[in-house]
Amino acid sequence: MCKRLLTALLAAALLYSTALAAPIAANFLDSAALIDEDGAVIVAPGAYDFIFALDDAGELFCGGSNEGGAYRYALLNGAGEPLSEQVYDMLALEDGVVVFTQGSLYGAMTTGGEVLAEAAYTQLVSNGEGGFLALTTDCFDDQSDGLYRIDETGAVSATGVQTLGTLNWFSDGLMPLISAENNLYGYVDASGQWAIRPQFAYAGPFIEGRALASLTTGYGLIDNTGNWVLTPKYPDITFEDGELALAVEGDGSATGFDPATCAEIFRIEGGEGSYYAAYDGVVQAFDGEKTCLYDYSGRLIHEGGAQASYARGENGQFILSDGPWGAECYRIVRADGTLVEGAWQSLFPLFTLDGMGYYGFMAFEATPVYVEELDEEQYDWDPDGVRYGVVDENGETVLNARYEALSVAGEKRLLVRESDAQGLIDVHGNWIYQISTARE
């Protein structure tokens, strides 16, 4: 009995995991297809020039074709069925609704294709409560623009607020907006009324209850009532993900603060000309002689040269670039700061599969050339000679550099082009779906 139950549960789990596998939008040289990860065709090539996903779940897609020199798009579901006519200039998913443009004007529809707001607005954003805020005049000129509210029934009303800027997005129920009355930023609520009066030289979106804002004295952080929680005295603050506020001081040093408590976490001693980038859990510090990579606790992970830069890799690793384009200057840095054996001319993350991280790499002929004006050596290279391959997180070659194009498709497939064939492969190079690139 227990064995049969276990077998049934495992079967159900397999069915459930298969059901969650999102369709893959595969864009080829001259056409596009919608395919599942096993190669079954959902939308065959020829129906659209290209297809792209609007969500991560694989429930909504956009199919586009060139009509008279302009692309027109239709909303598709995960089964490839059209949910709208193919008449839109652009489609984007925002807060559970689809925003579209027609003739440079914005409108919105449900994820089922039912139009909620006709294309009549120069800007339109979801207010997070089933309605929208919108502008009807040119938001890029120097004239003030009236802010309108569109409720969930489609009724339009003027809010009485005048702005000189473009609309942002809502977070924590608030949207930063510049007022035409005093040329300062405040925040409006879902109804389009001022919730935090215009008083800031700059105001950004809220992240985890905090927002970057500034006065003439400098940058700081505010809470969602508009009160300062980090004094606005810094020449610059990077606040990207709600986990760290990195404040750069006048002497070139940087201090990392916990945004929730505003307690100091670490300090990096810098100097004139130092600059910083903080995002995705790491801080890069550049001082003209070296580049240092820190985590958000202030721990030094790795130190590179003056040209070095880092990008997030797979499985907690990082990608280091430390040299001119064309040189074999791309390396894999482990989470502990040690380097994986091997160097490549270019390296980019693909995905992690069964606990193993994979990277794409480029290989091409490059000739060193001294550039007198820059007093440095660079490389001449032929883009048509580029070939792509795959290595794993240990630097071992998985696929030799033989593909003319290679990119991630879905969670564990690769979209490639090789000679007269293009399609989907798995990470070991087995074809899942293949079509010819030969022209008739």
User: Domains of the chain by range and CATH?
Assistant: 207-306 (2.40.128.630)
Cα of 67 vs its chain's centroid, Å: 28
pLDDT in tens, 129-166: 999 999 999 989 999 999 999 998 889 999 999 999 89
Q: What span, in angstroms and rounded, lies between the C-alpha atoms of 362 and 91?
A: 32
pLDDT on residue 5: 32
Strands (E), 103-242: 105-109, 115-121, 123-126, 132-135, 145-150, 156-163, 175-178, 185-188, 194-200, 202-203, 211-215, 218-222, 228-234, 236-238
**Phi–psi pair at 220, nearest 5 degrees:** -155, -165
CB 237 within 8 A of CB 249: no
Token reading at 121: 């607005």
Q: Which residues contact 7 (CB under 8 A, 6 or more apart)?
A: none
Burial-class residue 68 by CB neighbours within 10 Å (0-12, 13-18, 19+): exposed
Of 127, 403, 312, 270, which is closest to residue 117 (Cα–Cα)? 127
**pTM, full prediction:** 0.88
Q: What span, in angstroms and rounded, lies between the C-alpha atoms of 138 and 213?
A: 26
Q: What span, in angstroms and rounded, lies between the C-alpha atoms of 108 and 98?
A: 6
pLDDT on residue 369: 82
pLDDT on residue 15: 33
The phi-psi region of residue 78 (left if phi > 0; otherwise alpha if psi is between -120 and 50; otherwise beta) is: alpha
Q: Which residues contact 430 (CB under 8 A, 6 or more apart)?
A: none
pLDDT on residue 100: 97
The residue whose two tokens read 């989470």 is: 335
Strands (E), 258-365: 264-268, 275-279, 282-286, 291-295, 300-304, 309-312, 318-321, 330-333, 346-353, 356-363
Using CA atoms, how far residue 109 sits from 83, 161, 353, 363, 421, in Å, is: 10, 25, 36, 45, 38
Token reading at 55: 């969500």
Q: Which helix (H) or strand (E) holds 12?
A: helix 2-20
Token reading at 411: 């969670």
Token reading at 295: 């985590």
pLDDT on residue 69: 87
Of 376, 349, 379, which is closest to residue 364 (Cα–Cα)? 379
Low-confidence stretches of the chain (pLDDT < 50) are 1-20, 440
Classified as helix, coil or strand, 8 is helix
pLDDT on residue 293: 98
**Phi–psi pair at 304, nearest 5 degrees:** -115, -175
Q: What span, in angstroms and rounded, lies between the C-alpha atoms of 415 and 432?
A: 10
pLDDT in tens, 253-299: 999 999 999 999 999 999 888 999 999 999 999 998 999 999 999 99
